[in-house]
Amino acid sequence: MKNTQGQPRLFTAIALSLIVGFVGGVIVTVYKTPSIVSQLPQSQQNEPTDKEIKKHIKHMEDEVAKKPKDSTAWIQLGNAYFDSETPEKAIDAYLKALSLSPNNPDVLTDLGAMYRRVKKPEKAIEYFDKAAQIDSTHVQSRFNKGVVLFHDLNDKEGAIKAWKEVAKLKPDFSISTGQTIVQLLESVK
């Protein structure tokens, strides 16, 4: 007589092993295979080309020439210069925008970032502080202030104070490394 009591368990174990192996293979394949986008040439990844950037800047320069009192056009021109790594021109455009509409915390923060790029950290801090005074909940200006204090002015305690303000306002604020502001504070203490 043949023993058939163990066969259902054997078939179940084999089926389960096949399913686990299949799912595991799919997971490994998904996480290990580079995305199609990363395999495309740079110009096909929705990254603007130098020609497109120059065309956009030219368009924005034409806009502010037509509408010199339009603060939005000046902001957009400043942003185009910001993105094209021309901080001096961005500073000029942002200052013009602020002369027309002085209480924009985002523009003040971007202006501060441009002053940092041209190695004027004290001026950057000045504009980050203005942004925070105008909008008491503006976390980006406070975070940027901490970056400048920490990296450019070697003021660790001042940076921690600025970042604690960010953590108080938005504890889940995430930075470019993927850390939250709370994790950043733990790592610099």
Would you list the domain boundaries of the chain? 8-36, 49-188
146 has pLDDT over 50: yes
DSSP one-letter string for 81-143: HHHTT-HHHHHHHHHHHHHHSTT-HHHHHHHHHHHHHTT-HHHHHHHHHHHHHH-TT-HHHHH
Q: Does domain 49-188 have CATH number 1.25.40.10?
A: yes
40 — pLDDT class (breaks 50, 70, 90): very low
What's the whole-model pTM score? Answer: 0.74
Question: Which pLDDT score is estimated for 22?
Answer: 55
Question: Which pLDDT score is estimated for 18?
Answer: 57
Q: State in Å, rounded, how far the first CA of the chain is from the last one.
A: 74
115 has pLDDT over 70: yes
Please write the tens of the pLDDT for every residue from 50-71: 888 899 999 999 999 999 999 9
Question: Which pLDDT score is estimated for 29?
Answer: 44
- Out of 26-35, 70-79, 85-94, 152-161, least confident range: 26-35
Question: Which pLDDT score is estimated for 47?
Answer: 77
DSSP one-letter string for 18-72: HHHHHHHHHHHHHHHSPPHHHHS-GGGTTPPPHHHHHHHHHHHHHHHHH-TT-HH
Question: Which pLDDT score is estimated for 13?
Answer: 57
